[in-house]
Structure formats: C-alpha cells, structure tokens
C-alpha cells in the first residue's frame, strides 16, 4: 500500500454502494487484499473473496474448492441458510454438485448443446431479434432491459426449450420474481424458484409424451440407455438451463449496450465491421460481464491461497469482474477495446462448472447487440447517465432499467447528471 492508498476499499462488499460501482472496490481489493476475508451480508458468515485472475482460475480448477456446499460447508454457513435451493430438486442440481455426479449430469446436458444444434439456433435468435426490434421501433423511446434484452433472452430460451407460449409468459413473470430488481420483493424468491421447478417438470412430462425438435426433447432422448437420468434429474437440468440462461443474457445485453453508449467510437466500429460481432462479445463480457462472481465454493480441507490460509469448510467467492480487469493479465484493463486480442476472460467461469450455455449466450450476444445499433444508428441514452441503477445482487450484475431513445432528437428526458 502506498502512503496515498486509502486504508479501506471505497465501498463495503455487497453493500448498496458496491452494487452501483463494484469496480473501484474490486480494484482496491485486488491490489491490497487479494484473498479478502469479510462478513457475508446474509447471516454474517465469515467468507473470502478472491480477486486476482490467476487465483480465480486456480480456485475454479482445484478440487479442494468444492461446489457442493451441502456436503462441505461449515456449520455457520449452513445455519445461515446459504446452501443453495435447500429442500428443492435443485439442491442436487448441476451447479452445486461435484464429480462424479456432476460429470454424469454435465455429460448428459452437454449432449444437447452440440455445435450443429447451436448453429440451428442461429435462425431462431435472428428471427426473435428482428421481431423484437420491430416492436421497439414502434415507439421512439423504450427500455433496453424490459423491451429488448428481457424479450430476447426469454423468447429465445422459450422457443429453444419448446415451451408453450402461455406457459412461457407465466415463466417470464416467475423469472422476474426469482431475480427481483427490487430488494423489497425478496420474500417472493423461494416461491418463484418453486414455480420454475414446476414449469420444468411439466415441460419434461409434456415432451416425454409429445417429443419434438427442441432442447427438452433432446435431453430426454439423449444419453446412454443403461444410465438414464431420473425425472428429477432431468427436471433439474431443464430448471438450471431456464435459470442460467435468462437473467444472465438479459443482464449481459444491457451491460454491453450501456458500455457501447459510453464508448460511441467502439459502437461505430461494431456498426461498420460485421466481423467484429464475435470478438466484441468477448471484450464486452470481459469489460462488464453479467456475473460479478461465480457461485459459492467451499474448501474441503485447509488450503493456502496466495499466502492466505483458509480453514476447511470455508466459503469462498471468486470475483469474475475483478479477475477480468486484473492488470497482471490484461493490458490497460479499464479500456473497452473491441479489437483486443490475447488472454481469455473468465466471464463464463472456468473449470468443470464453466458455463454450459456459453455457445448459446455468445450467439445471442453476437446477433442481438450489433442488431440494436444497426437498427437504431443514433441510439441515445434517455436518462441522465448518473441515474443508471444496478440490482442489489451479489452474483448477477444487471441494470434495473436502461431507457433509450431511437435518436438524440427523440430524447425526452434532460440528459443532465444527477
Ligand atoms: C451472457 C450470458 C451468460 C453468462 C455471463 C453466464 C455465466 C456463467 C458462469 C460464470 C457460470 C459458472 C458459475 C460457477 O462456476 O459457479 C455459468 C454456469 C452455468 N450456466 Fe451460464 N452464463 C450465461 C448464459 C447461460 C445460458 C444461455 C445458459 C443455458 C442455456 C446457461 C446455463 C448455465 C448452466 C446450466 C451452468 C452450470 C454449469 C455447471 O455447473 O456445470 N448460462 N454460467
């Protein structure tokens, strides 16, 4: 620490101020306390946050950091109710179990995400994006989060999974309640998760009797006939896909659009060079991804990480946003540079639990983000920049709203800072 470095991070971790600007705090921690012990706001549980790129990758690829907190979490962690989805089928879901069980679920799920399958989804995504852009263009102002990003992520996922339209609409409302923008609505979360599991169970039952050309039917069909998944396991995978693939894509598109509005030169590059669509997604995910952190890991024994000793059963959170701006790994990390080449970001995680839907997310990003700027070449923010708010959520980084106008002339709200 130099004499001018403040002795504390600018905002307390997972506080309202942190959610609005996590980067300043994460940057302080990365330099001054890279394996940082703090009190997790729910239950005041002693937890460690890891912020350097190499350490984040090390944790995510080391079997001494388990995703299975129900098995390895210490008494304090369990007592605080931090074991994910306890009491539902998702308590043994793909994202919170270790090998060999994880390997079995993962292999089965990956079987439905083949390259050929993802290529077929290109048309689906393009059609949804075009239709939603038509809807947005009926008004001179709209909200990117609800009217565009939310519609794209839910519409694409609903069609890919094969959901009936009326069930799909209900699911969108359950998803909004499962990931509320308003902290006062947190009490609705468990019930909303329950509904998502119910939808997933219904969908599996329906596709079992009426198989079609969709992901749910492919999951039911696939796999080794001697090692069939149980109904709960299949339902759990479908529910994990619904949850993993909705708010993340919505959040990412929103963050990407705001980053590009902040950097008009980069938005111009994207507009004029279609080859940039795919690399742009990688850089936008690095710059301000949709998951601030991965899910909890728990140490299976005492371990040492960059000079800090972690006891057995310790909850560990890896900072994906922090790692993606580590100057040890990325040259001038604060700069958005769509033409950046080189090191891979960890926006989709790393290791065994890395994002199952990354290929689909990349496809959605590479189509939806450039298409918005192509359809509205003069897209402008329709609110003061300083009024942008992020949801209070320790893992998901998503804007509450992103009001835009089709052109500077259509801006209705004075763009002065608050
Ligand atoms: C931009 C959008 C997305 C981002 C940033 C994202 C990010 C991530 C990250 C960081 C992880 C690892 C979490 C951990 O290690 O604890 C993950 C896992 C996962 N993601 Fe995504 N994701 C996105 C889109 C999707 C989509 C579209 C789907 C499904 C269609 C999906 C399904 C999943 C599932 C099922 C897992 C758990 C995998 C496992 O535990 O083996 N995600 N995602």
CATH class as words, domain 16-410: mainly alpha
Atom number in ligand 1 closest to CA 362: 1
CA torsion sign, 66 to 67 to 70 to 76?
positive
Q: Is 297 in the pocket of ligand 1 (CB under 6 A)?
A: no
Query: What was the pLDDT predicted at 414?
Result: 57
CA of 241 to the centre of ligand 1 (A): 8
Atom 27 in ligand 1: residue holding the nearest Cα: 245
**For atom 41 of ligand 1, which residue has the closest CA?**
353
The CA 245 to ligand 1 mean position distance, Å, reads 7
pLDDT in tens, the chain (418 residues): 555 667 888 999 998 999 999 999 999 999 999 999 999 887 789 999 999 999 999 999 999 999 999 999 999 998 887 877 777 788 889 999 999 999 999 999 998 888 888 889 999 999 999 999 999 999 999 999 999 999 999 899 999 999 876 777 787 778 777 765 555 666 777 788 888 899 999 999 999 999 998 999 999 987 777 778 899 999 999 999 998 998 899 999 999 999 999 999 999 999 999 999 999 999 999 999 999 999 999 999 999 999 999 999 999 999 999 999 999 999 999 999 999 998 799 999 999 999 999 999 999 999 999 999 999 999 999 999 999 999 888 889 999 999 999 988 889 875 555 4
The CA distance from 93 to 82, in Å, is 15
Alpha-carbon distance of 61 to 58, in angstroms, equals 5
Instruction: Record the tokens describing residue 281, joined without a space.
Output: 């997604």
Please say whether the beta carbons of 112 and 218 come within 8 A. Answer: yes
- Name the CA dihedral angle for 251, 257, 263, 264, rounded to a multiple of 10 degrees: 180
**Residue 367 Cα to ligand 1 middle (Å):** 19
Q: Are 361 and 125 in contact (CB under 8 A)?
A: no
Ligand 1 centroid from CA 246, angstroms = 10
Q: What angle do CA 105, 244, 18 make, to 5 degrees?
A: 130
| CB distance 81 to 73 below 8 Å | no
Q: Is the pTM here over 0.85, yes or no?
A: yes
Closest listed residue to residue 368, CA positions, set 143, 126, 173, 118: 126
Nearest CA to ligand 1 atom 19: 355
Q: Is the CB of 28 under 6 A from ligand 1?
A: no
Is the shortest distance between the CB of 347 and ligand 1 below 6 Å?
Answer: yes
Cis, peptide link before residue 100, omega less than 30° from 0: yes
DSSP state of 387: G
Ligand 1 near 240 CB (within 6 A): yes
Give the CA distances from residue 142 to residues 91, 379, 400, in Å, rounded to whole numbers and listed in that order.
38, 11, 14
| Token reading at 381 | 């923010």
Helix (H) or strand (E) holding 389: none
């Amino acid at each position: 620490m130099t004499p001018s470095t403040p002795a504390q991070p600018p905002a307390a971790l997972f506080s309202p101020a942190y959610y609005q600007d996590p980067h300043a705090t994460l940057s302080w921690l990365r330099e001054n306390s890279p394996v940082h012990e703090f009190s997790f706001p729910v239950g005041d549980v002693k937890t460690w946050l890891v912020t350097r790129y190499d350490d984040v990758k090390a944790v995510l690829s080391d079997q001494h950091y388990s995703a299975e907190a129900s098995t390895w979490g210490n008494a304090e962690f369990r007592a605080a109710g931090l074991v994910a989805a306890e009491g539902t089928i998702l308590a043994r879901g793909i994202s919170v179990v270790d090998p060999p069980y994880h390997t079995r679920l993962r292999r089965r799920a990956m079987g439905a995400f083949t390259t050929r399958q993802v290529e077929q989804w290109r048309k689906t995504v393009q059609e949804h994006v075009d239709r939603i852009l038509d809807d947005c263009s009926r008004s001179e102002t709209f909200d990117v989060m609800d009217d565009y990003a939310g519609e794209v992520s839910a519409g694409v996922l609903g069609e890919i999974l094969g959901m009936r339209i009326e069930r799909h609409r209900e699911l969108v409302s359950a998803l909004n309640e499962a990931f509320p923008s308003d902290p006062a609505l947190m009490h609705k979360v468990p019930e909303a998760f329950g509904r998502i599991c119910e939808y997933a169970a219904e969908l599996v039952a329906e596709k079992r009797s009426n198989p079609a050309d969709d992901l749910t039917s492919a999951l039911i069909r696939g796999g080794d006939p001697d090692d069939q998944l149980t109904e709960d396991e299949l339902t759990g995978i479908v529910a994990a896909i619904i949850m993993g693939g909705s708010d993340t894509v919505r959040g990412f598109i929103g963050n990407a659009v705001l980053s590009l509005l902040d950097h008009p030169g980069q938005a111009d590059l994207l507009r004029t060079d279609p080859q940039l669509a795919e690399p742009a997604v990688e850089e936008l995910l690095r710059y301000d991804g949709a998951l601030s952190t991965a899910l909890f890991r728990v140490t299976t024994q005492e371990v040492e990480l960059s000079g800090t000793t972690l006891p057995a059963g310790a909850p560990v959170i890896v900072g994906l946003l922090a790692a993606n701006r580590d100057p040890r790994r990325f040259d001038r990390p604060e700069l958005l540079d769509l033409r950046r080449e080189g090191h891979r970001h960890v926006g989709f995680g790393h290791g065994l639990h890395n994002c199952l839907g990354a290929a689909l997310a990349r496809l959605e990003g590479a189509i939806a983000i450039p298409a918005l700027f192509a359809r509205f070449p003069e897209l402008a923010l329709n609110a003061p920049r300083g009024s942008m708010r992020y949801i209070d959520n320790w893992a998901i980084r998503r804007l509450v709203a992103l009001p835009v106008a089709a052109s500077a002339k259509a801006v209705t709200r004075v763009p002065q800072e608050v």
